[in-house]
Amino acid sequence: MNTNELIKLLNDYKNNNIDQEEVVNYIKTAPFKNIDFAKVDTHRHLRQGFSEAVYCPGKTPEQIIDIMKELKKYHSIVLSTRANKKTAAAVLKEISEAKYVKEAKIIQWGEYPAQQSSNYALVITAGTADIPVATEAIITIKANGVCVKHIFDCGIAGAHRLFSHIDIIQKASVIVVAAGMEGALASLVGGISSCPVIAIPTSKGYGANFNGLTPLLAMLNSCTSCVATVNIDNGYGAGTIASLIVKQSKD
Amino acid sequence: MNTNELIKLLNDYKNNNIDQEEVVNYIKTAPFKNIDFAKVDTHRHLRQGFSEAVYCPGKTPEQIIDIMKELKKYHSIVLSTRANKKTAAAVLKEISEAKYVKEAKIIQWGEYPAQQSSNYALVITAGTADIPVATEAIITIKANGVCVKHIFDCGIAGAHRLFSHIDIIQKASVIVVAAGMEGALASLVGGISSCPVIAIPTSKGYGANFNGLTPLLAMLNSCTSCVATVNIDNGYGAGTIASLIVKQSKD
Amino acid sequence: MNTNELIKLLNDYKNNNIDQEEVVNYIKTAPFKNIDFAKVDTHRHLRQGFSEAVYCPGKTPEQIIDIMKELKKYHSIVLSTRANKKTAAAVLKEISEAKYVKEAKIIQWGEYPAQQSSNYALVITAGTADIPVATEAIITIKANGVCVKHIFDCGIAGAHRLFSHIDIIQKASVIVVAAGMEGALASLVGGISSCPVIAIPTSKGYGANFNGLTPLLAMLNSCTSCVATVNIDNGYGAGTIASLIVKQSKD
Amino acid sequence: MNTNELIKLLNDYKNNNIDQEEVVNYIKTAPFKNIDFAKVDTHRHLRQGFSEAVYCPGKTPEQIIDIMKELKKYHSIVLSTRANKKTAAAVLKEISEAKYVKEAKIIQWGEYPAQQSSNYALVITAGTADIPVATEAIITIKANGVCVKHIFDCGIAGAHRLFSHIDIIQKASVIVVAAGMEGALASLVGGISSCPVIAIPTSKGYGANFNGLTPLLAMLNSCTSCVATVNIDNGYGAGTIASLIVKQSKD
Amino acid sequence: MNTNELIKLLNDYKNNNIDQEEVVNYIKTAPFKNIDFAKVDTHRHLRQGFSEAVYCPGKTPEQIIDIMKELKKYHSIVLSTRANKKTAAAVLKEISEAKYVKEAKIIQWGEYPAQQSSNYALVITAGTADIPVATEAIITIKANGVCVKHIFDCGIAGAHRLFSHIDIIQKASVIVVAAGMEGALASLVGGISSCPVIAIPTSKGYGANFNGLTPLLAMLNSCTSCVATVNIDNGYGAGTIASLIVKQSKD
Amino acid sequence: MNTNELIKLLNDYKNNNIDQEEVVNYIKTAPFKNIDFAKVDTHRHLRQGFSEAVYCPGKTPEQIIDIMKELKKYHSIVLSTRANKKTAAAVLKEISEAKYVKEAKIIQWGEYPAQQSSNYALVITAGTADIPVATEAIITIKANGVCVKHIFDCGIAGAHRLFSHIDIIQKASVIVVAAGMEGALASLVGGISSCPVIAIPTSKGYGANFNGLTPLLAMLNSCTSCVATVNIDNGYGAGTIASLIVKQSKD
Amino acid sequence: MNTNELIKLLNDYKNNNIDQEEVVNYIKTAPFKNIDFAKVDTHRHLRQGFSEAVYCPGKTPEQIIDIMKELKKYHSIVLSTRANKKTAAAVLKEISEAKYVKEAKIIQWGEYPAQQSSNYALVITAGTADIPVATEAIITIKANGVCVKHIFDCGIAGAHRLFSHIDIIQKASVIVVAAGMEGALASLVGGISSCPVIAIPTSKGYGANFNGLTPLLAMLNSCTSCVATVNIDNGYGAGTIASLIVKQSKD
Amino acid sequence: MNTNELIKLLNDYKNNNIDQEEVVNYIKTAPFKNIDFAKVDTHRHLRQGFSEAVYCPGKTPEQIIDIMKELKKYHSIVLSTRANKKTAAAVLKEISEAKYVKEAKIIQWGEYPAQQSSNYALVITAGTADIPVATEAIITIKANGVCVKHIFDCGIAGAHRLFSHIDIIQKASVIVVAAGMEGALASLVGGISSCPVIAIPTSKGYGANFNGLTPLLAMLNSCTSCVATVNIDNGYGAGTIASLIVKQSKD
């Protein structure tokens, strides 16, 4: 409710177009509309084609189904992330149009929206084991109607593999780097690109890797200043941020 | 050196316009030019107006002075970050045109470039004590020729202070949030904005804050999916990423 | 045994109402009564309607059954917490009147005592996944004869959901907040309420959440000064403290 | 602004007692009043006699002075916590009526309000070295108009010292326990009292104490279920919660 | 080989009682005998009745069987610790005289030696869940021919239970305290006893207990100066040290 | 107060040798005497020649002086530990007979008691830098009237230095090992001795030593089962335990 | 492509032995050849007999099979490390000539190359439980055509077992030490050898061992300066480094 | 003392060339000679030109002087590491021929020995701030008579700087990499070299760098398998290992 709408409301009231109870009620519930909060959150997504995701762990299949159905009313595509096989089976039994992308642990309901621009996000992984996390990011980006490219398995131990893709790296609007072990790839990519780099530490590694703590710390300490980091294995978060950046980028 | 330049080089050589030693030398040193690496790094900055910064800790004033002078040849503005008072004094004695922004611990040499767009980055702090880190980000953004606005001291304990600025929040191209203590402000801002949020945990707090570890962890675990995080107190990094995002944003 | 009782005992002895052996014995065992310790602990609970709970992990079903039976002699209701399904089945086989609240992992034997006051504790969760921990707190509060209300799933990413319940928040005698992820909800609630807030970090999250360490640290560092914290997932402890506060509150 | 006030406003407007601009303005700024947020925060404190504190670290003396003066308009007493000697001297130079309680690092401006009840908070320390933190809590409680008693230096190594004070322990409305080293005192006190216990781990200790981490963890893991914990050395927070509990307690 | 033995050896050689090859060989292998190292280790145990234990994790049943058989040649009793059920079954199939004490996860082969003295070690646990670790200590002590007494389940939340055993506590030659949660019992016991206290943190607890890290840190920071600590759940180590202390104690 | 004393008291009362107020008072304060707690703590020290120490950090010189004077009434020797130079100077100004052992940071008032036995504690250090901590232990042991020997600077990098002292090692009643760096010396000593070993991790080292955390963890994980550990740099605690062990050892 | 090759290429082009497209193509792809990077990595291994290994975790059996087949074209022996039983079975079904060394979790395809020198690496373990990690190192070393010897189970608790092997220790070109618990063996070995020592902390231990963190820290802090450390349980890495050192060593 | 020497000793004794006391004494002290331990340690250094270093922290200048003088009897060059300015001044006052290399914090007494081979160690730093640690390694290598080259300031943010030195990298016998921040340089260097890489994490960085913990973890988790790691800032250790590797390398 902007100022003009408020003035109109007051005029309507003064002119007896609406009665006092209605205007009192409207203003009492207005705060959240006024501060553009609850409803707008939903509207923005519908309007901009953003997908809303359901984080599955700790929810029962019934809860997931209910939330997905509610979201599907407003969105052309709904994602449920980190769903294990058993949960996915229970959900798909009820929502037969949905599909389960096992590698990314995502339940996807609805088709990807059309891409509005040739700008693209680039997703790079250090190793083969980081591909599942990268795939979560890729699906998230596509679900936001954004173009995405990828380069897999070009870790720092064979850096030349990375350099052979210098063109696709230099033209990206944003780069998502998923790496476990020592997580050095994010710094290397940051050093040869001119766009924001979103780093995802993955939990791949052993011993003093501490389930992704090492690449997390390494990425946070990157000596290249265009790297920002998300939580360990958080492909969905990185995909969301990457989508936001690409969508607002100039062609 | 692109393909056309290479063909020209070979033709020149075949036509005896250049001698063999020259072409051998050129190709031997070319790889790094070919892969658009070393030199381009510099050129890109000049071309795009990006500033390069000198990280002062561990460098002598002499080293800082030499690097600043070298960088100043290519850039209209040069920043040296995290300079303490003593170092700054030694540098300013030699480079009298520079100035020291004590609050941000930055030595600034040269004027801010003109802003090319009305798009802006927004820098928000949770408390008064986070302002120095925020200022490092703000100067970095300005040095990149990007417009920046700020809202200081609107932490989660009095969230209404934040909501009264909903307009400026909703229209930003990127938001930088600097917060210490429990670092919850980044999540709150992320929940009411539609642009990328770059979170800077600050080292403000005591006890189980562990010099910024607590807000760092909190920001990495944000339940709002548009938040990416930089190192503790890393205003320069957040400012750089924010600049990149704003510069490539549509008007 | 207070001073008056002691004087009476001594008079009885001097007047030969009780013999020396009895008085010696009484005084020898008295210290713990005198300092109001062992026995009184039990009496206080009976007198005040407090329930005593059995913490199941590390105990055999036989041990749990024995302790529950002993406690049931003195209490109208006995709770055994953190009982897994297998343990619960073994206990219920022996104590058929008890029931197992699976979500909260509580074996409950006996009915809730009547509530003495309309003062209430309010239990709020950030997400759906925090409900089991919240339920442990709720049952504990009810078992103490205290009124409890709840608001589930109003995390900081959609803070407006919280604000729509401002009335129930402002009138609570104590608020228990259960949150995982970054645990920011406790601070937000603390900023809009005027009663003590007991924060329960939950182990919900992944990666750098470290099984609840992140919300634990965030809650301990809350910038709102009316928040005190219990152990990760400790619904029973938070429920006990909340009960104590409500019970001693003015109507 | 409650419903009645809103109805009156609308009537005033309809009856031309106030003009449209005024009512638009009022409603636009109202949300935070409506949700009982910003202003009420201040009113509540004034109404209930709560003191608001200034956390000094990271603020300049000028900033502290300005905030204290602003707060003093609404409060009879203003506290600034964790002020070092130098800061305190600068503040007292400007605000000569204030005084500096060096042990507690508090700048106190104004007298303690009268106590409304004989209910009291009890502050207990394990050792002599914990007294400064305890004093911060005590001053905070007094500034809230609440009665406070204390027992110092009765750590677990000589538990009998504690038991000799059993009367004052049993009658408290809330107990604040400040302990460093292994922090066991909170559990011991919790075992012999029937009120909420707020535990403050202090940073007193060495080696594997890790500046208070050990007592913090110990207090969070207390086997007595009526203990809630605040941040290391957080006397102000514990004092605030304790005050809230005592103030709402029945006589 | 002491000096006298060496002189005898040399005399024997000079007197042609032994030939040169034998004396060369003897002296070449002697170093470890000379420095009282390898063989003596075994002799000492035989002579003093000490049992040697096999730590099972990481060993195959075959390896455990072989080592036990070898040790059984020199010892009247052999213990294998931390054996799971499957391993124990495989060992007992081969060594039918051995028995498996499931609670303590010990395979015991041979009878306890007779006790030489009425001096005793006292083993105390905070809770029921600590009994398995305590039992490992108790069996170890008995296997060393030392008298052992125990008090189970007298944690700090009901300290009076401990005080009722003051006699047995005061007369012990050494006390072993096993406690999880916050581990405060060791300090409390240390405060009321006059013998060395060996503290075993147990892994019992949850959340911020971190599998025994909290009681470990608490015990290391004990404010009573007669407490030394062993590794988490290390009943065998505590039992060994306790045995050494009792065995060398005066009657 | 034992049973006989209690019977006598009751008889005295019945026979009017003492009046009722006196007997009531006596019994009310008796519990702590009955359970042999407060006073006995003091008596035991006097009787057995144990010294009580004042831990200086966090205490003012005035507090230290008062406590030392109080303790001196009951003890022939009083130690104040971890006193820095400034504190020591202030104390010695008031207590001129005391002396300051700078290396061990101990203020010592009174002479060492005579040694009752030739049994001895042996204190070993890995390096020169561990000597101050070892000295704290040595003075503590001497102050308890126990004989002490030492071997300094025989770390694991030159293990032969240790083996050349095998005799003195084998005959000790207890060995205290102080080591920083990787703390391996405790295990090595444990492997060649037959008495209890008390390990003190010292804070000597750098980098991943983490101020003594590394030797602390190493000592707790010792593969020799006769090692128990005290807090980092805790020479006083190790000395106290060692004294207790030697004092109760057979000649 | 070295300078001579480049000159030849240019001459060939000038002399029309190769056409322009070919030379352009060659130079465009050359950079990685020029900097001796991608291809050379492979060539070096073929030429020097180094084996390349496949790290199995996170890869599907199909991916492992494909990579092994590709590598087998260039190498006489291919190792796949950390393969569990199920993965190994799937791989062996497809590659029947390969074999699975269960203890070391290695799939080995092809025979060890002949050893070129009598120089040897020595692999030592502290205990029986460290043998699997040691075996991974041993197979890696053999696969590199290097001679390897081993000494198992000579931990610091019985150091004499180590000293009896002094000859084989002193003559090694490099020593790999695998140890869990407190990891002290690396320091002890380093003190009696004159070659580089590569330390592998193993995850063997419990409680405060933290899955190998303790021996990792201990080895990093070794007081013997010839010890370098690899990741916890990283037998493959230690084996690779050891091979490199032996292969370049003088006979 | 080898077998032949022992036979000769016995013959001498039998032939009365030496008396019994002498032979007893000799054999009694022999073990450490026999096992090639104490003395050989010294001899090896003399024979091979290795320098022994004094670690200064925790030693008084007097102790340092005494040890240096003792070592100087056997070595042509003696280094004392981590000496601060004050200590160095005190030492140089007594040992005037020594010099203080301030950048590396080394006191150097004596000239570098001549280099026996053209094989060299290569020391690389990521940044300017890592040069002091690198210099400690370089001086250590030179003091061992080994040739050393260096490349400074070629961190991963500008990887092309590294590649331009590919020749010197490929021909090194060992490479020492000193890096702070995220420590990624070690992995990058490991990927393009064929010799062992010794990684030194430096304490350069801030925030979540944790004084070198981040590069330490990153280096331990390097995905290139020829990297071994030393303690944070341990230039001396890395230099020693590098020297050992180069010295035993083939020309």
Q: Alpha carbon of A221 to those of B231, H179, H214: distances in Å? A: 6, 12, 8
Terminal CA-to-CA distance of chain G, rounded, Å?
A: 32
**Is the model's pLDDT at G45 over the cut of 50?**
no
ipTM of the complex: 0.84
Beta bridge partners of G81: G55
3-class DSSP state for residue E181? coil
Terminal CA-to-CA distance of chain D, rounded, Å?
A: 33
Residue G106: both structure tokens together: 């290695």
For an interface test with G, give the residue of B5, B11, B13, B14 to mutate (most G CBs within 10 A). B14
Conformation bin of residue E210: beta by default, left when phi > 0, alpha when psi is -120 to 50 = left
Nearest to B14 among G14, G28, G30 (CB): G14
Phi, psi at F141, each rounded to 5°: -65, -45
Is G125 an 8 Å CB contact of chain F?
A: no
Q: Alpha carbon of F188 to those of E46, E141, F128: distances in Å? A: 21, 23, 18
Contact F127 G223 (CB under 8 A): yes
| pLDDT tens digits, one per residue of G57-69 | 999 999 899 889 8
Give CA–CA dist C186/C201, Å, rounded. 9
**Helix axis angle, G20-34 relative to G3-14, nearest 10°?**
170
Grade residue D72 by pLDDT with cuts at 50, 70 and 90. Answer: confident
Q: Alpha carbon of H248 to those of G115, G172, H41, H169, H251: distances in Å? A: 18, 11, 18, 19, 9
Nearest to G232 among A130, A160, A207 (CB): A207
Most confident listed range (B239-243, C31-35, D48-52): B239-243
Whats the size of chain E, residue-wise? Answer: 251
Chain B: residue nearest D82 by CA?
A: B206
| Contact criterion met (CB below 8 Å) for G59 and G86 | no
Most confident listed range (C13-27, C88-102, G25-39): C88-102
Cα torsion angle, A133, A139, A145, A150, sign: positive
Is C39 an 8 Å CB contact of chain D?
A: no
Give CA–CA dist G113/F120, Å, rounded. 60
Contact H206 B232 (CB under 8 A): yes
| Contact criterion met (CB below 8 Å) for G122 and G147 | no
Give CA–CA dist A32/C76, Å, rounded. 46
For an interface test with B, give the residue of A81, A166, A241 to mutate (most B CBs within 10 A). A241
| Contact criterion met (CB below 8 Å) for D197 and D190 | yes
**Is the model's pLDDT at D154 over the cut of 90?**
no
Beta bridge partners of D101: D106
**Is the model's pLDDT at H78 over the cut of 70?**
yes
Give CA–CA dist H189/H154, Å, rounded. 10
Is F160 an 8 Å CB contact of chain H?
A: yes
Chain E adjacent subunits, 3+ CB pairs under 8 A: C, D, F, G, H
Report chain H residues whose CB lies below 8 A from the CB of B37.
159-160
pLDDT at E4: 61
Terminal CA-to-CA distance of chain H, rounded, Å?
A: 33
| pLDDT tens digits, one per residue of H225-248 | 899 999 999 999 999 999 999 999
Lowest-pLDDT range, A50-54, B102-106, E242-246, F129-133?
A: A50-54
| Burial call A123-140: b when 16+ CB within 10 Å, e when fewer | bbbbbbbbbbbbbbbbbb
Residue found by looking up tokens 């002062």 in the block: B56
Is H108 an 8 Å CB contact of chain F?
A: no
Is B155 an 8 Å CB contact of chain C?
A: yes
Report chain D residues whose CB lies below 8 A from the CB of A7.
20, 24
Q: Where are the beta strands (DSSP E) in chain F?
A: 53-55, 78-81, 99-101, 106-109, 120-125, 147-151, 174-179, 197-201, 227-229
Q: Which helix (H) or strand (E) holds G106?
A: strand G106-109
* Helix, strand and coil in chain C, % to nearest 5: 50, 15, 35
Phi, psi at B163, each rounded to 5°: -65, -25
Residue found by looking up tokens 């000064």 in the block: C225
Q: Where are the beta strands (DSSP E) in A82-131?
A: 99-101, 106-109, 120-125
In angstroms, the separation between the Cα of residue E89 and the nearest Cα of chain F is 26
Beta bridge partners of G125: G178
Ordered strands of the A197-201 beta sheet: A147-151, A120-125, A174-179, A197-201, A227-229, B227-229, B197-201, B174-179, B120-125, B147-151
| pLDDT tens digits, one per residue of B170-183 | 899 999 999 999 99
Q: How would you class H152 by CB atoms within 10 Å of its CB: exposed for 0-12, middle for 13-18, buried for 19 or more?
A: middle
Phi, psi at A162, each rounded to 5°: -70, -45
pLDDT at G248: 93
Q: Alpha carbon of C106 to those of C54, C91, C138, C175, H25: distances in Å? A: 10, 11, 11, 22, 75
Is B187 an 8 Å CB contact of chain C?
A: yes
Is G28 an 8 Å CB contact of chain B?
A: yes
Q: What's the average model confidence in pLDDT over D121-126?
A: 96
pLDDT at A22: 72
| Contact criterion met (CB below 8 Å) for D232 and D203 | yes
pLDDT at C3: 54
Is F38 an 8 Å CB contact of chain D?
A: yes
| pLDDT tens digits, one per residue of E57-75 | 999 999 899 889 888 887 8
Give CA–CA dist B137/B238, Å, rounded. 6
Is C125 an 8 Å CB contact of chain A?
A: no
Chain A: residue nearest B220 by CA?
A: A231
Ordered strands of the A99-101 beta sheet: A53-55, A78-81, A106-109, A99-101
Grade residue C30 by pLDDT with cuts at 50, 70 and 90. Answer: very low
Contact G208 E57 (CB under 8 A): no
**Is the model's pLDDT at H45 over the cut of 50?**
no
Q: What's the average model confidence in pLDDT over A63-76?
A: 86
Chain D: residue nearest B132 by CA?
A: D58
Contact E194 F170 (CB under 8 A): no
Mean pLDDT of all residues belonging to chain A: 85
**Is the model's pLDDT at G48 over the cut of 50?**
no
Could you tell me how far CA D65 lies from the centroid of its own chain?
Answer: 20
In angstroms, the separation between the Cα of residue C187 and the nearest Cα of chain D is 13
Contact B212 H207 (CB under 8 A): yes
Contact G218 F183 (CB under 8 A): yes
Q: Give the CA radius of gyration of chain F.
A: 22
Grade residue E50 by pLDDT with cuts at 50, 70 and 90. Answer: low
Grade residue B27 by pLDDT with cuts at 50, 70 and 90. Answer: low
pLDDT at H126: 93
**Is the model's pLDDT at F48 over the cut of 50?**
no
Give CA–CA dist A250/B18, Å, rounded. 43
**Is the model's pLDDT at A67 over the cut of 90?**
no
Give CA–CA dist B135/C183, Å, rounded. 28
Report chain H residues whose CB lies below 8 A from the CB of B34.
none
Q: What's the average model confidence in pLDDT over C155-169?
A: 80
Picking from F156, F191, F147, the residue whose alpha carbon sits closest to that of residue F170 is F191
Give CA–CA dist C95/C109, Å, rounded. 8
Terminal CA-to-CA distance of chain F, rounded, Å?
A: 33
**How many interchain CB pairs under 8 A, E with G?**
44
Q: What is the SS3 assignment for H183-212? A: CCHHHHHHHCCCCCEEEEECCCCCHHHHHH
Give CA–CA dist D49/D114, Å, rounded. 9
Lowest-pLDDT range, C126-130, G212-216, H1-5?
A: H1-5
Q: Alpha carbon of E102 to those of A151, E76, E94: distances in Å? A: 54, 21, 18
Picking from D239, D240, B157, D245, the residue whose alpha carbon sits closest to that of residue C187 is B157
| pLDDT tens digits, one per residue of F84-120 | 999 999 999 999 999 999 999 999 999 999 998 999 9
For an interface test with D, give the residue of F130, F210, F231, F234 to mutate (most D CBs within 10 A). F231
3-class DSSP state for residue C198? strand
- Residues of chain A above pLDDT 70, percent: 86
Give CA–CA dist F127/F153, Å, rounded. 4
Beta bridge partners of F197: F175, F227
Picking from G233, G224, G215, G227, the residue whose alpha carbon sits closest to that of residue G155 is G215
**Is the model's pLDDT at E46 over the cut of 50?**
no
Instruction: List, in sequence order, the alpha helices (H) in B155-228.
Output: 160-163, 166-170, 185-191, 213-220
pLDDT at D26: 58
| Contact criterion met (CB below 8 Å) for A91 and A117 | no
| Contact criterion met (CB below 8 Å) for G229 and G206 | no
| Higher pLDDT pick, G251 / A198 | A198
Lowest-pLDDT range, B184-198, D47-61, F40-54?
A: F40-54
Q: What's the average model confidence in pLDDT over G45-50?
A: 42
The answer for residues whose C-beta is within 8 angstroms of residue H13's C-beta and 6 or more apart is E10, E14, H19, H20, H23
Contact G38 A158 (CB under 8 A): yes
Phi, psi at F78, each rounded to 5°: -125, 130
| pLDDT tens digits, one per residue of B195-221 | 999 999 999 999 999 999 999 999 999
Q: What's the average model confidence in pLDDT over B111-139?
A: 94
Q: What's the average model confidence in pLDDT over A182-194?
A: 91
